[in-house]
């Protein structure tokens, strides 16, 4: 377990606040429950004797004890920066208490912490709840993802700057659910009245079920786990209406298509299709049936999911596909390919008549081979050959090599995986094309829902890439919350006591430095035909023997451990080289390119001549690194907002809050450090000129001040504010002070508005009166018979 730098920081707070009086309550560290409440019964020379509720006693050093707030509000506080005693046990107690009363959202400054309720709480997503947050200032309503979305939307409109909302947390913590809420709310704020059936926002919303059908699966951690990362850019026009959107996806887990371990499932779409209702006749059309008869599904015993009706989901997915612009012909092709993948998985191979050759095992395998070829509309013999033979071109000569049954099976799986991943990419592209981008849009809100940090018993290449993503995002978070704050304070020369934080640049260097980082060494290994995972591991050990973030696990010959920001993770290198090679077997590409189905051949466009000849492989890790660079560039051009999702237990059940588990997630996500900084710092700032411009209404004479600093100070005094800071170019305010100033401004503006109204009213009445008077005089004149 890592101890964050927060603990060092907390020491300061603790000593300042400690008051170990006999009879008072404190928190004592406990290996099982993280922190336990105890009463002090004796305090002598830094040795404190305490009594637990259970009746047992213990003696502890004062440095291991935290004071407990005797006036802790019974329902906790909405913003942790308002905790009287800011320390880990206090934070944990607050989240726990709120969780028990179904208050799952809590702020720490501007960061929203969302604890997964594992049960539907309808009031949290109702339309009436959405209405409450519309136009409400941040902090006015209870913590909620809608408040974050509303804040981001308002910032976008007022500051004319793009925004992003980064949703993070471990698998099953609730990222996708929170993301969906954000998207619903943004559609509510920026949507048009529903006129036609396929508005941009509706398409954006309906893209969720489509992507989930093809990219989500049940895992041990989450029954509906997204096996890809997602960044949704929602574009807005000048009026703040949604005008376009783009979805970027990251690294779909391909291996799941062929390999599922108990009790997980393959991608939802396979089960949905097998359960398609009789009336649509797809099961017969695609020669499907019981999912247990398919190898790609029956490696796990888990076929059905509690509370999920695959048959209904099938129809719902098709409806959503319709909304996002996937035509019924395209839907047919998509499900035909999904069925073909299942049939491919059932082709087994046995030794053929020649040495080291292979052939389909039996009639059943031939049936599946023929069915798969029929569904993919390609030649059945060529399909068989693409599994059992390989054509090698050496020095201009082509030689046909026969493959043994094991290699043929691997080739079959490779085909299934590449077809599926191309299909997924096609779906994402299609959604993007049909929603359409607004080329004129200058403002967007991006929502990032990406896999959280992973550390399993066995970690492979996928975890390596996922954890690289999290290191990158952690650095972004660090930079934003910590570095930028502190750098700005230094630049502005304002009084600020520095806070230590764990900078992870060294981990990023270890992984992605060019040359010499792990990815560079992996790519190098992939380029040498004789490299194996052993030689790759050996190279890593030599290169990084003195690196503090790298070590060789004691019980492994080819593994390596990285000391990530969230803890140590050991990776097995066995499949690193294979998984890093983005290589489509030329026979597979040629076969599918020749398919009579334009949809299938479109997934495999002909490769340019030079690519076929070139032996240079394409590195998945390098591509992924590039995608991350571009993601980070986009994020850096936006104002970020953070939602940290927390999984309260691993049983995926409501009402259970496991202290240690939660604490670990809070530490990993930098939440503790963020609390400290929000509390201690000056989160609101405005340049002198902006400040004067915004608040000169409070005292217009400041516009005549010789310099802006004097003007700012005068305005701050006028509003009776203390404890602000004047930097070199900006005014720095404590949390909440801006709201006070805005309230004064609103009051003055309100008064001014009523004066203007009064004057205008008076002017209009007078005009009316004058007119009446003239008319009356004229009438009198006529009545008197004058000309
Ligand atoms: N706000 C919520 N209300 C009700 N249930 C929720 C909520 N958030 C999460 N859940 C439950 O927790 C499950 C997991 O949530 P979700 O799929 O959003 O996790 P995730 O963080 O996106 O996981 P992964 O990284 O595996 O995709 C959901 O399927 C749902 O059952």
State the average pLDDT over residues 663-673.
81
Summary mean pLDDT of the chain: 88
Ligand 1 atom nearest to 114, measured from its CA: 1
State the average pLDDT over residues 231-246.
93
User: In the predicted model, is pLDDT for residue 16 greater than 50?
Assistant: no
461-573: which CATH topology? Methane Monooxygenase Hydroxylase; Chain G, domain 1 (1.20.58)
pLDDT digits (tens, 9 = 90+) for 723-733: 899 999 999 88
**Three state DSSP letters for 94-132:** HHHHHHHCCCCEEEECCEEEEECCCCCCHHHCCHHHHHH
Cα–Cα–Cα angle for 52, 30, 482, rounded to 5 degrees? 125
pLDDT digits (tens, 9 = 90+) for 285-314: 999 999 999 999 999 999 999 889 999 999
- The pLDDT score that the predictor gives to residue 12 is 37
* 8 A C-beta contact, residue 620 and residue 580: yes
State the average pLDDT over residues 744-752.
86
pLDDT digits (tens, 9 = 90+) for 699-718: 999 999 889 999 999 999 98
User: In the predicted model, is pLDDT for residue 576 greater than 70?
Assistant: yes
367 lines ligand 1 (CB under 6 A): no
pLDDT digits (tens, 9 = 90+) for 466-525: 999 989 998 898 888 776 677 778 888 887 765 666 678 999 999 999 899 999 999 999
User: In the predicted model, is pLDDT for residue 612 greater than 70?
Assistant: no
Residue 11 — pLDDT band, cuts 50, 70, 90? Answer: very low
* CATH class of the structural domain 71-254+438-453+637-680: alpha beta
User: In the predicted model, is pLDDT for residue 96 greater than 60?
Assistant: yes
The closest of 27, 110, 116 to 72, measured between CA atoms, is: 27
684-774: which CATH topology? Alpha-Beta Plaits (3.30.70)
**Long-range pairs of 306-311 with CB within 8 A, sequence gap ≥ 24:** 308/223, 309/275, 310/268, 310/271, 310/272, 310/274, 310/275, 311/272, 311/275, 311/276, 311/277
Least confident of 417-431, 588-602, 733-747, 764-778: 733-747
**What are the structure tokens assigned to 261, written together?**
């371990």
How many angstroms is it from 647 CA to the middle of ligand 1?
9
How many angstroms is it from 581 CA to the middle of ligand 1?
32
State the average pLDDT over residues 673-700.
81
Provide ipTM, 2 decimals.
0.99
Q: Is 78 annotated as a binding residue?
A: no
More confident residue, 5 or 282: 282
Q: Is 173 annotated as a binding residue?
A: yes
215 lines ligand 1 (CB under 6 A): no
Return the active site residues.
Answer: 171-172, 176, 222, 225-226, 452, 454
Kindly tell me the burial class for residue 344, based on how many C-beta atoms sit within 10 Å of its own C-beta (0-12, 13-18, 19 or more). buried
* 8 A C-beta contact, residue 238 and residue 459: no
Separation between Cα atoms, residue 708 and residue 729, nearest integer Å: 10
> What percentage of the chain has pLDDT greater than the value 90?
60
Tell me, yes or no, if the pTM score tops 0.95.
no
- H or E stretch including 56? none
For the four alpha carbons of 8, 560, 624 and 232, in that order, the dihedral sign comes to negative
Ligand 1 atom nearest to 216, measured from its CA: 27
User: In the predicted model, is pLDDT for residue 434 greater than 70?
Assistant: yes
Q: Is 174 annotated as a binding residue?
A: yes
Domains 71-254+438-453+637-680 and 684-774 share a fold: no
224 lines ligand 1 (CB under 6 A): yes
How many angstroms is it from 422 CA to the middle of ligand 1?
27
Q: Whose CA is nearest to atom 15 of ligand 1?
A: 174
Residue 197 — pLDDT band, cuts 50, 70, 90? Answer: low
User: In the predicted model, is pLDDT for residue 579 greater than 60?
Assistant: yes
Ligand 1 probe mutation, 102, 112, 113, 116, most atoms within 8 A of CB: 116
Kindly tell me the burial class for residue 704, based on how many C-beta atoms sit within 10 Å of its own C-beta (0-12, 13-18, 19 or more). exposed
How many angstroms is it from 450 CA to the middle of ligand 1?
13
175 lines ligand 1 (CB under 6 A): yes
102 lines ligand 1 (CB under 6 A): no
Ligand 1 atom nearest to 169, measured from its CA: 21
User: In the predicted model, is pLDDT for residue 169 greater than 80?
Assistant: yes
Domain locations along the chain: 71-254+438-453+637-680, 461-573, 684-774
User: In the predicted model, is pLDDT for residue 24 greater than 60?
Assistant: yes
First to last CA, the chain: 104
How many angstroms is it from 35 CA to the middle of ligand 1?
27
Kindly tell me the burial class for residue 363, based on how many C-beta atoms sit within 10 Å of its own C-beta (0-12, 13-18, 19 or more). exposed
- The pLDDT score that the predictor gives to residue 5 is 35
Ligand 1 atom nearest to 226, measured from its CA: 27
Crossing angle between the packed helical segments 405-435 and 328-345, to the nearest 10 degrees: 160
State the average pLDDT over residues 121-137.
91
Separation between Cα atoms, residue 517 and residue 125, nearest integer Å: 45
116 lines ligand 1 (CB under 6 A): yes
pLDDT digits (tens, 9 = 90+) for 393-410: 777 777 888 999 999 999
* 8 A C-beta contact, residue 46 and residue 62: yes
């Amino acid at each position: 377990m890592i101890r964050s730098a927060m603990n060092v920081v907390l020491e300061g707070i603790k000593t300042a606040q400690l008051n170990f009086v006999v009879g008072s309550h404190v928190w004592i560290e406990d290996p099982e429950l993280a922190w336990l409440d105890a009463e002090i019964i004796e305090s002598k020379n830094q040795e404190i004797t305490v009594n637990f509720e259970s009746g047992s006693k213990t003696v502890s050093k004062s440095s291991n004890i935290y004071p407990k707030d005797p006036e802790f509000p019974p329902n906790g506080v909405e913003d942790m920066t308002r905790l009287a005693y800011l320390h880990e046990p206090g934070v944990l107690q607050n989240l726990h208490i709120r969780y028990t009363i179904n208050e799952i959202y809590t702020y720490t400054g501007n960061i929203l912490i969302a604890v997964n309720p594992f049960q539907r709480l309808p009031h949290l997503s109702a339309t009436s709840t959405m209405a409450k947050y519309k136009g409400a200032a941040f902090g006015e309503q209870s913590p909620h993802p809608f408040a974050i979305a509303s804040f981001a939307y308002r910032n976008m409109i007022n500051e004319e700057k793009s925004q992003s909302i980064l949703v993070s947390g471990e698998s099953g913590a609730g990222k996708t659910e929170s993301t969906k809420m954000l998207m619903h709310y943004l559609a509510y704020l920026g949507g048009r009245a529903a006129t036609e059936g396929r508005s941009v926002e509706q398409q954006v919303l309906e893209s969720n079920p489509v992507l989930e059908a093809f990219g989500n699966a049940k895992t041990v951690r989450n029954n509906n786990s997204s096996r890809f990362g997602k960044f949704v850019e929602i574009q807005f026009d000048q009026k703040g209406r949604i005008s376009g959107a783009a979805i970027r996806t990251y690294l779909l887990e391909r291996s799941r298509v062929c390999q599922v371990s108990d009790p997980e499932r393959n991608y939802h779409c396979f089960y949905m299709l097998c359960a398609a209702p009789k009336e649509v006749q797809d099961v017969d059309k695609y020669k499907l049936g019981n999912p247990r008869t398919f190898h790609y599904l029956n490696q796990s015993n888990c076929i059905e999911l509690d509370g999920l009706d695959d048959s209904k989901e099938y129809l719902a997915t098709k409806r959503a596909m319709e909304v996002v612009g996937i035509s019924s012909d395209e839907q047919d092709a998509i499900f035909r390919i999904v069925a073909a993948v299942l049939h491919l998985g059932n082709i087994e191979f046995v030794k053929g008549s020649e040495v080291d050759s292979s052939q389909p095992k039996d009639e059943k395998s031939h049936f599946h081979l023929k069915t798969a070829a029929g569904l993919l509309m390609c030649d059945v013999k060529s399909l068989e050959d693409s599994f059992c033979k390989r054509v090698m071109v050496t020095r201009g000569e082509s030689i046909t090599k026969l493959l043994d049954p094991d290699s043929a099976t691997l080739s079959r799986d490779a085909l299934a995986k590449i077809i599926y991943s191309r299909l997924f990419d096609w779906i994402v592209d299609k959604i993007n094309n049909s929603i359409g981008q607004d080329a004129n849009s200058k403002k967007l809100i991006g929502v990032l829902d990406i896999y959280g940090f992973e550390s399993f018993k066995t970690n492979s290449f996928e975890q390596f890439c996922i954890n690289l993503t999290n290191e990158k995002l952690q650095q972004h978070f660090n930079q934003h919350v910590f570095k930028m704050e502190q750098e700005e304070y230094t630049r502005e020369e304002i009084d600020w006591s520095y806070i230590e934080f764990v900078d992870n640049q060294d981990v990023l260097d270890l992984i992605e430095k060019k040359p010499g980082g792990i990815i560079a060494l992996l790519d190098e290994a992939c380029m040498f035909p004789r490299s194996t995972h052993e030689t790759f591991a050996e190279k890593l050990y030599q290169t990084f023997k003195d690196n503090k973030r790298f070590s060789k696990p004691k019980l492994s010959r080819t593994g390596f451990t990285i000391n990530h920001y969230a803890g140590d993770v050991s990776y097995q290198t066995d499949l690193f080289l294979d998984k890093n090679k983005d290589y489509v077997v030329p026979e597979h590409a040629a076969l599918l390119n020749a398919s009579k189905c334009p949809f299938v051949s479109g997934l495999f466009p002909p490769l340019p001549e030079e690519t076929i000849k070139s032996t240079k492989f394409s590195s998945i890790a390098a591509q992924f690194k590039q995608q991350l660079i571009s993601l980070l560039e986009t994020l850096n051009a936006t104002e970020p907002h953070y939602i940290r999702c927390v999984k309260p237990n691993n049983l995926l059940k409501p009402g259970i809050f496991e202290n240690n588990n939660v604490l670990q997630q809070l530490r990993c996500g930098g939440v503790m450090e963020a609390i400290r900084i929000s509390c201690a710092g000056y989160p609101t700032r405005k340049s002198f000129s902006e400040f004067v411009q915004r608040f000169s209404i409070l005292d217009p004479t400041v516009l005549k001040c010789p310099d802006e600093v004097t003007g700012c100070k005068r305005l701050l005094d006028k509003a009776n504010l203390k404890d602000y800071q004047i930097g070199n170019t900006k005014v720095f305010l404590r949390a909440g002070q801006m709201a006070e100033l805005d309230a004064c401004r609103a009051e003055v503006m309100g008064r001014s508005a009523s004066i203007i109204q009064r004057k205008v009213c008076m002017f209009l009445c007078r005009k009316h009166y004058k007119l009446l008077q003239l008319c009356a005089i004229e009438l009198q004149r006529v009545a008197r018979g004058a000309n």
